[in-house]
């Protein structure tokens, strides 16, 4: 009489390993989002000075005569406004000294739109955007004007605008 040989149930082992793996991944994702803090800035004071450390972002959309200007990727100094791999999504992460008595930064220039435009070599003010100034004619034959919105609302701050985390700034010449 032949002895019946049982095969090891590898399919069950594979199923259990897959279940364990996906349970671990699911728990990891849940844990990350349950404990994630979106820290825009924090402050540290030493004996001789105080600093604010920032990690902020904003979207800058530039339209000239109906054409979207795409900012270069991986451009700009890391200690100032710069881009990574996302089109027109700007990053700023750096430390800036501030006055603890007033809470004001000693240098707000990294947060001023003109500084950003200068980093990307884009001429910009209330009258000019790129090579066009108010009244210049677009290739379509129509004269244009500079306009700006911040988070969908019109703004006349132009180059002096101080952007904030997750702002969407759109400047146009049309």
99-152 pLDDT, tens digit each: 888 888 889 998 999 999 998 999 999 999 999 999 999 999 999 999 999 999
In whole angstroms, what is the distance from residue 79 CA to residue 58 CA?
16
Residue of 130, 85, 132, 80 lying closest to 108 (CA atoms) = 80
Residues in Cβ contact with 128 at an 8 Å cutoff, skipping those fewer than 6 apart: 134, 146
pLDDT tens-place string over residues 147-168: 999 999 999 999 999 999 999 9
The pTM of the full predicted model, rounded to 2 decimals, is 0.71
Query: Which H helix or E strand runs over 26?
Result: helix 10-35
82 near 75, Cβ under 8 Å? yes
Exposure of 65 by Cβ count < 10 A (0-12 exposed, 13-18 middle, 19+ buried)? middle
């Amino acid at each position: 009489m032949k002895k019946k040989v049982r095969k090891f149930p590898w399919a069950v082992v594979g199923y259990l390993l897959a279940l364990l793996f996906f349970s671990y991944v699911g728990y990891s994702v849940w844990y990350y989002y349950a404990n994630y803090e979106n820290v825009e800035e924090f402050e540290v004071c030493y004996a001789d000075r105080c600093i604010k450390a920032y990690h902020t972002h904003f979207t800058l959309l530039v339209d000239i005569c109906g054409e979207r200007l795409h900012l270069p990727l991986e451009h700009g100094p890391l200690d100032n406004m710069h881009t990574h791999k996302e089109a027109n999504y700007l990053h700023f992460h750096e430390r800036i000294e501030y006055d603890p008595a007033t809470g004001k930064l000693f240098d707000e220039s990294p947060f001023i739109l003109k500084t950003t435009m200068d980093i990307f070599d884009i001429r910009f003010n209330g009258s000019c955007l790129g090579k066009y100034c108010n009244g210049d004619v677009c290739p379509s034959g129509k004269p244009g004007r500079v306009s700006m919105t911040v988070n969908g609302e019109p703004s006349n701050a132009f180059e002096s605008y101080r952007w904030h985390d997750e702002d969407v700034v759109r400047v146009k010449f049309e």
